[in-house]
Amino acid sequence: MSEDSVFKENLFKGKKVFITGGATGMGLGFAQAFLNHGAEVFIASRKEDKLKQAAEETEKKFGKKLIWKTMDVRDNETVEEAIEFLNSEWGELDILVNNAAGNFVAPIASMSENAWRTVVDIVLDGTFRVSKASYPLLRKAKNGASIVNIIANYAWNAAPFVGHSGAAKAGVLNLTRTLALEWANDNIRVNAMCPGVVLTENVKQNLMLDEKTAKTFEDYIPIGGVTNPEKMAQQVLYLCSPAADVITGDMLIADGGQWLVGNAFYQMGKKFLDE
Ligand code: NAP
């Protein structure tokens, strides 16, 4: 188990966990953290090679098996297939983490409708589809279930140069609160977790265009600096733990106070305005 975890090794023993986009970056960090605390974990995303690689690496590193299946959150049929698979494997679901996302820097004035739709379709519509499809299984969880939606710290404010992602994450935050109320009677808690800056491959390729840009982000983080998937996994584990069973419809901002200081995306993206 991870040496850095503050949680008991068997905290999630016997729990069934579904993580969308769990083969890379933070999602894989969440998956491995749940596995290392006794859970059974299913990950699903589009690329089979990434899923296979994640499972192989996890087994090599921790001696634990990840269950996986290809799924596109934009395609309801594949979402339903994943849920049918979980129904036959587990018959219930304790934890769902809506983590799948796409993002890239683009000013609205030059953003194609296709680019806008793609990000909104993955992030907002995808969270709706997967949550709705998972609901019958979540209701069957014996001691209550938990959903964590991964958002971003531009969800409740402006999201300059990532406007598609900002609008979608804002929608997810609202949906989080709606579901918290609609599904409270089913003993399903629904919260959001807002990570800090994590230098995943996706971020390096699509957002951190160079060293200078990375420094801009770092300068806007009062405490903890650029963080990592393991630290962010601890936040998700907390939200799904019994310690948080009085928390629903809330969001946990784990960004080292970055959002209080300024809008890093504005600073970073200003070059679009200056050009
Ligand atoms: P990442 O490694 O790119 O993870 C995103 C995952 O989503 C990938 O595994 C990807 O796999 C999957 N995905 C994309 N489109 C999909 C689709 N249509 N259907 C199913 N899966 C799909 O990025 P990350 O940095 O770890 O981000 C994880 C989460 O944290 C995201 O929600 C992101 O918005 C949020 N976040 C990240 C940061 C950061 O600094 N990294 C900061 C704030 C919030 P496939 O391409 O194989 O489908």
Instruction: Report the domain count for the chain.
Output: 1
Residue 4 inside a domain? The answer is no
- For the stretch 66-90, pLDDT in tens is 999 999 999 999 999 999 999 999 9
Cα–Cα distance, 22 to 8 (Å, whole number): 22
Residue 231 lies in a domain: yes
First to last CA, the chain: 49
What's the pLDDT score for residue 272? 67
Strand order through the sheet with 95-98: 67-70, 40-45, 16-20, 95-98, 145-150, 188-195, 251-254
2 within a domain of the structure (yes/no): no
CA of 149 to the centre of ligand 1 (A): 12
Which stretches of the chain drop beneath a pLDDT of 70? 1-3, 208-210, 271-272, 274-275
Question: Could you tell me the residue range of the domain that residue 208 belongs to?
Answer: 16-274
Q: Residue 76 domain-assigned? A: yes
Q: Measured from the CA of 23, which atom of ligand 1 is nearest?
A: 9
In one-letter notation, the amino acid at residue 168 is A
**Is 6 part of any domain?**
no
Q: By the 8 A CB rule, do 120 and 76 touch?
A: no
| Cα torsion 3, 68, 100, 83: sign | negative
DSSP 162: B
In the DSSP assignment, the letter for residue 111 is -
Pocket of ligand 1, candidates 52, 98, 99: which has the most ligand atoms within 8 Å of its Cβ, to mutate? 99
100 domain residue, yes or no? yes
Q: How far is the CA of 185 from the centre of ligand 1 (A)?
A: 31
Pocket of ligand 1 (CB under 6 A): 20-21, 23-27, 45-47, 50, 71-74, 99-103, 122, 150, 152, 195, 197-198, 200, 202-203
Give, for 216, the enclosing helix (H) or strand (E): helix 211-219
Q: What is the CATH number for 117?
A: 3.40.50.720
Q: Phi/psi at 50 (nearest 5 deg)?
A: -70, -40
Site to probe by mutation for ligand 1, drawn from 18, 19, 20, 24 as the one with most ligand atoms within 8 Å of Cβ, is 24
For every residue of 37-60, DSSP letters joined together read: TT-EEEEEES-HHHHHHHHHHHHH
Position 11 in a domain? no
Is residue 10 domain-resident? no
